[in-house]
Structure 1
Amino acid sequence: MPATLTQLLARPELGLRPLTASTVGDPDAPLAWAHSSDLPDPTPFLAPGQVLLVTQPPEDADPYVERLVAHGIAALGFGTEVVRDGTPAALVEACERHGLPLFEVPYRTPFIAVARFVADRVAADAYARSTWALRASRAISLAALRPDALGAVLSELSRQIERPVALVGPDGAVSRSFPSGALDARARRALSDAAEPLLRSGRRAAGTVGTDAGPFAVQTLGAAGRLRGVLAVGSEGLDAAAQQVVTGVVALAGLALEQSRAADAARARLRTAVWRALVAGDAAVAASIAEPVLGPLPEAPVRVTMMQGAALAAAADWLESNADGFFARDAHDLVLIGDESTAVEVATTLAVRFDLRGGVSSGTTLDALPAAVAQAQTARNRATADDPVAAFDDVAGAGMLALLHTPDARAVAETSLRPLVAADPSLPDVLRTWLDADGVYDVAARRLGMHRHTLRSRVAEAERLLGRDLSSFAARADLYAALRASA
């Protein structure tokens, strides 16, 4: 540890004499350096935690000492018998008043001797901390050779820096913490809340968070786009040497997590194979493949969810810890087969958390998956930014005309109705009212507030502009669909 004022004043060979009470300032605070200057205001050239040595008494002691205290100077030493004998009483009083420790340096003690003592202790402390960092890094590296490499590394880090350490998984929950019992439920929740936005961003990032167990530094683990978790380390009072050790652990923890990627990739391929077997109609084969590794497939009735987006890999990692049903990646789709009652809720959670869009089928069995897949895809096409998950039951309940509200249908409708709009912008509304009245002229004319013969004339004009006879059901249905799609 660096020198303290108490240790400095205790050196008999220096002969330093304290002039202020031992309760003034903090005599046990570490001293960063010792510097001499007789400038009226030396603070621009000093750093907090330093000792200032002077021989020239200040003209006005009170503001001089006030500036030193505001700058964080640890102590003031006055050299006697250079400019004057003894230390000015005004300086002693000012130091007492502002809480700055003051000591007297006898003429026989050169300032360089005081500076050398502080510098030697600073250098010794730096060497000791570097040596500790090397020993700690070696112990952590050896821990990485144990069977549970990640757990051993984090446990050893906690022991070496004497701070709590936690790992937040890709699902946003604290999966490990060291030492055992160091984090209560509120601290775990605070770490999870701090980690969640980092994980959702998908980018490498770091930050800090305050908890009941003290402040923590948080750092993402893994590559951008597929983060593997967040490392949280108690950061209160960590010096540069400890930070260096933590930085090494971040690399080791990331490596340990990446080593599991091969196993994860194998499981992902197995999931895809099971899914394709299900779609091909080989439910029995799919179940026999999934059972030993992935567990039993969900029992009917189930719903199929199809999701798309840029963060499918991160969503799949989250599902590894949170999914109750079956899921798989297939090309650009994330597919889920889950309980009928919770499928929409799970899909909505994924959509919000990972910015995905999806569709959920009606209830089905594993033998009827192809039809359920088509339903889920149809529903997904209806998803929007405001409503990122659509259920096929809602789509079907809205009827066939609801399917017309797509950009493609609108483009076709606007093209087919363009002659009407160009001739008379009010004509589409007239035709829509006429068709809503089932083509009955008397009813439609009353709604429009015009004579029925005028309405017949307007419909005849529309037939001429469109080049079609609107007396048939098919022609009227096509026109009605175009009017609905363009609305």
Structure 2
Amino acid sequence: MAATADLEPTLGALLGRRELRLRLASDVHDLPGDALDRPIRWVHGSDLADPTPFLADDLVLLTTGTQFAAAGDVDAQPYVDYVRRLSGRAVAGLGFGTEVARTGIPPALERACRDAGMPLFEVPYDTPFIAVARANAETIAAQAYARRSWALAAQRAISLAALRPDGLGATIGELARQLNTWVGMYDAAGELVREHPADALDADAARSVHDEVGAVLRRGARAGSSLRRDGRAFTLQTLGRGGRLRGVVAIAAGDLDREGRDVVTSVISMASLALEQHQRLGRARDVLRTGMLQSLRTGDPGLARRISRDAWGPMPVAPIVVAVTDAAAASDALGELLELRADERRGALFYGQGDDGMVLAVAAAETEILDEVATLFALALGVSAPTGYDGFDAALQQARVARDRGGRGVTHFADASRTGILSALSTHEGRALASALLQPLVAHDAAHATSLVPTLRAWLDADCSHEAAARALGVHRHTVRTRLAAAEAVLGRDLAAFAFRAELWAAFAALG
């Protein structure tokens, strides 16, 4: 954060005001290490034996010592009890006005302050208590003015940074410089996309922040969050609207003062606005990409290549593989990740929204992005065999087959195709058609106690051999012939036709 150390209202700064001529009576070595650097909220004067009900934390108390008149220098206990009460109220220091009620500081008070680690200083007779209080108040006012001035200057610098070509990156960098700390911006997928200074976090801290960002994004609510790792504090602020978060800004800082929070809020507002504008542009780009996808499916990539060259850079170099996600995977986060990767690796990725999922095309030798997408979004992704752009539509059909036959993760068409053509019949539609074809035989068997269905199945399994089917069924071959003739009559079809035999075999295969 911008330095204003010379304006900090601390006990050390107060003692350093030469015009006050205050003298530290405590030995510095007897005080806690931060005793003189502790911020002072106010300076108050009181000669009450117990002023603590009227005091606030981080306050310096001034006294002339009239409350100790009865104790004198013999009984030390009143001094010990007095200092203990002040310490319990978190008083930052005690100033003793000499030559008013007595000469010098009572030794018993010095010992009590030393034992309690309470800073004790002398206020000379000709230095009014009001002058000490006013000096601290002036420092507080000067600090507040400096912080407001810093906040205005910081917001002006950040606004100018937002006008640069990479407005978001420049804004994040300027915020880091103004706060004098590390600042990182994460996208909607939880990946770090910008940071300043670069690589400033160690691996453990970076991992912890990444995990917390992921948790914040999964909750989906617009909110702030805090994280502490190995004594280092981080503040996280979401970008975008609740339910449609665009990312997270992480700051390596804990509690910021009001001015610091105001500066961060301005950055969050500008970043959110920039991302919303980017989203609107993204929708227009998505429409353009969908049109390019339709052009590619015609087998003529010329139009798509010209548009891509002018808008994003070259298309992936053939041979390519085509991939398609499941329809449920469509999301703003997926689109933003693909846009980011397409921008980072110009010419290595094309994507567009298809009829039933997001369609991706990458060079056949650069398929790492497909694994990343499938893993990060836990989706099903079918991938075609390598092809040229003239085979784009056929490759898209291959990718759909691979997606539909595979599960979560990446499924290649080469692997899916090994299960055979008949496995494609194992669908609701295929089973419905198969059941309808065989239903007359099933009904006949149920009504007349015949065995037309098992006989027909055994005959087909035996390559249409009557003798082999009879052996499998344990009946005479003439029984098989009689049953097959009855099946022909029930179905009204000729079993001698190969096409009908194939259709029956496919029906049995579909029904398992």
- Normalising by structure 1, we get a TM-score of 0.71
1:370 to 393, 404, 423: 393
Structure-2 residue corresponding to 1:322: 341
2:200 to 183, 192, 210: 183
The 3 A distance-change label for structure 1 pair 193 and 339 is farther
Structure-1 residue corresponding to 2:43: 34
Structure 2 counterparts to residues 30-429 of structure 1, below 5 A:
30-35=39-44, 42=52, 47-52=56-61, 56=67, 65=83, 69=87, 72-77=90-95, 89-103=107-121, 114-168=132-186, 174-178=192-196, 183=200, 186=203, 190=207, 195=213, 198=216, 204-208=222-226, 215-223=233-241, 228-235=246-253, 238-261=256-279, 263-307=281-325, 308-309=327-328, 311-323=330-342, 324-330=348-354, 333-340=357-364, 343=367, 345-384=368-407, 387-400=408-421, 402-403=423-424
Structure-2 residue corresponding to 1:6: 12
1:305 Cα deviation after fit:
1.2
Structure 2 residue runs without a partner (length 5+): 1-6, 69-75, 343-347, 447-453, 463-467, 496-500
Structure-2 residue corresponding to 1:22: 28
1:160 Cα deviation after fit:
3.2
Contact kept, 8 Å, 1:357 with 1:380, in 2: the verdict is: yes
The 3 A distance-change label for structure 1 pair 88 and 390 is same
Per-residue CA shift, 1:332-380, capped at 9, x if unaligned?
Answer: 621111233554x533421332343332233333222333323322333
The 3 A distance-change label for structure 1 pair 313 and 94 is same
- Count matched residues: 453
1:207 Cα deviation after fit:
3.8
1:50 Cα deviation after fit:
2.4
The 3 A distance-change label for structure 1 pair 128 and 168 is same
Cα distance in 2, alignment partners of residues 158 and 138 from structure 1: 14
One-letter identity of the residue aligned with 1:251: S
The 3 A distance-change label for structure 1 pair 436 and 60 is farther
Greater gyration radius: 2
One-letter identity of the residue aligned with 1:74: A
The 3 A distance-change label for structure 1 pair 50 and 289 is same
**Percent of aligned positions that are identical:** 39
The 3 A distance-change label for structure 1 pair 12 and 215 is closer
Larger displacement relative to structure 2 (434-443 or 47-56): 434-443
1:248 Cα deviation after fit:
0.9
The 3 A distance-change label for structure 1 pair 260 and 213 is farther
Contact kept, 8 Å, 1:9 with 1:17, in 2: the verdict is: yes
The 3 A distance-change label for structure 1 pair 235 and 289 is same
Cα distance in 1, alignment partners of residues 381 and 316 from structure 2: 20
Cα distance in 2, alignment partners of residues 414 and 73 from structure 1: 88
1:328 Cα deviation after fit:
1.3
1:275 Cα deviation after fit:
0.8
Contact kept, 8 Å, 1:140 with 1:156, in 2: the verdict is: yes
- Normalising by structure 2, we get a TM-score of 0.68
SS of 2:28's equivalent in the other structure is coil
Contact kept, 8 Å, 1:395 with 1:402, in 2: the verdict is: no
Cα distance in 1, alignment partners of residues 301 and 184 from structure 2: 42
The 3 A distance-change label for structure 1 pair 338 and 197 is farther
Cα distance in 2, alignment partners of residues 111 and 414 from structure 1: 101
Per-residue CA shift, 1:423-467, capped at 9, x if unaligned?
Answer: 9xxxxxxx8xx979958799989xxxxx999xx9xxx9xx9xxx9
The 3 A distance-change label for structure 1 pair 198 and 47 is same
1:271 Cα deviation after fit:
1.9
Contact kept, 8 Å, 1:182 with 1:213, in 2: the verdict is: no
Cα distance in 2, alignment partners of residues 94 and 88 from structure 1: 10
One-letter identity of the residue aligned with 1:183: A
Contact kept, 8 Å, 2:330 with 2:358, in 1: the verdict is: no
SS of 2:37's equivalent in the other structure is coil
Per-residue CA shift, 1:75-103, capped at 9, x if unaligned?
Answer: 23457899998766554334312322123
One-letter identity of the residue aligned with 2:303: V
Cα distance in 1, alignment partners of residues 49 and 419 from structure 2: 85
Cα distance in 1, alignment partners of residues 414 and 180 from structure 2: 56
Structure 1 residue runs without a partner (length 5+): 424-430, 446-450
One-letter identity of the residue aligned with 1:28: D
The 3 A distance-change label for structure 1 pair 50 and 399 is farther
The 3 A distance-change label for structure 1 pair 156 and 478 is closer
Cα distance in 2, alignment partners of residues 59 and 443 from structure 1: 115
The 3 A distance-change label for structure 1 pair 410 and 101 is farther
Per-residue CA shift, 1:262-293, capped at 9, x if unaligned?
Answer: 54444333322211111123233333333333
Larger displacement relative to structure 2 (46-55 or 295-304): 46-55
One-letter identity of the residue aligned with 1:366: Y
Per-residue CA shift, 1:17-36, capped at 9, x if unaligned?
Answer: 54422332322322122356
RMSD of aligned alpha carbons: 5.1
The 3 A distance-change label for structure 1 pair 13 and 251 is same
Cα distance in 2, alignment partners of residues 101 and 413 from structure 1: 94
Per-residue CA shift, 1:208-249, capped at 9, x if unaligned?
Answer: 567899654343434456655543434267432122112112
1:320 Cα deviation after fit:
2.5
Cα distance in 2, alignment partners of residues 67 and 303 from structure 1: 78
Larger displacement relative to structure 2 (219-228 or 290-299): 219-228
One-letter identity of the residue aligned with 1:272: T
Per-residue CA shift, 1:131-165, capped at 9, x if unaligned?
Answer: 32223323333444455544443444344333344
Cα distance in 2, alignment partners of residues 316 and 444 from structure 1: 58
The 3 A distance-change label for structure 1 pair 295 and 103 is closer
Larger displacement relative to structure 2 (405-414 or 311-320): 405-414
Contact kept, 8 Å, 1:171 with 1:322, in 2: the verdict is: no
